[in-house]
Amino acid sequence: MNTTPKILQFDIMGDERGWLCVANGAKQIPFDIKRVYWIYGTEPGVARGKHAHHKLSQVLVCVSGSVDIYCEWGDKSETFTLSNANTGLLLNGLCWHEMRNFSPDAVLLVMASDYYDESDYVRDYNEFKRLNNDKGC
Ligand code: T46
């Protein structure tokens, strides 16, 4: 599994009434979507995430406001700022991610490849590093 995060750009359709973006499964989203959840009302200064997944793939879209997504994978790390409703971030499997700097109006929509399963989470950072190293990274 390629654990390098990837920015996805969604086409914007709009007219005088405003904007509309669409994420078609299998076309714009590289997995079958089994679950959608959204995060909002997180105070600026509060961080969320701080985990990786064993197998789960997800696309994160900040449909309102902005949020920074700090990612670590292999021997790399990068912070992606999501501040446009037409931009998604694809995360696959063993990629440590932390969501930081939520704006007060931030709504983070997440499309996921599978149902919620706590056993798929790697919440311990040292365990993540061990698994990451075992992959030969
Ligand atoms: C992720 C980032 C981007 C459920 O019961 N079902 C669900 O589908 C989800 C997503 C969460 N929960 C429960 C588990 C916890 O008791 O909701 C509570 C909060 O979840 P968590 O602390 O994992 O939330 P975040 O914001 O740290 O992480 C979430 C997702 O859980 C995670 O998969 O990648 O957003």
In angstroms, what is the span from residue 71 Cα to ligand 1's centroid? Answer: 17
Looking at residue 136, what is its pLDDT?
A: 64
Spell out the per-residue pLDDT of the chain, length 137, in tens.
899 999 999 999 999 999 999 999 888 999 999 999 999 999 989 999 999 999 999 999 999 999 999 999 999 999 999 999 999 999 999 999 999 999 999 999 999 999 999 999 999 999 999 999 887 65
User: Can you list the positions of beta strands (E) in the chain?
Assistant: 6-9, 12-15, 18-21, 35-40, 48-53, 57-64, 67-73, 76-82, 87-92, 96-100, 107-112, 121-122
Cut 0.95: pTM above it: yes
Which residue has the least CA distance to atom 3 on ligand 1?
A: 49
In angstroms, what is the span from residue 96 Cα to ligand 1's centroid? Answer: 14
126, burial (CB in 10 Å: exposed 0-12, middle 13-18, buried 19+):
exposed
Return the domain boundaries, the chain: 6-134
Looking at residue 137, what is its pLDDT?
A: 56
Which residue has the least CA distance to atom 6 on ligand 1?
A: 116
CATH (one of 2.60.120.10, 3.80.10.10, 3.40.630.10, 2.40.10.10) for 6-134: 2.60.120.10
Q: Is 51 a catalytic residue?
A: yes
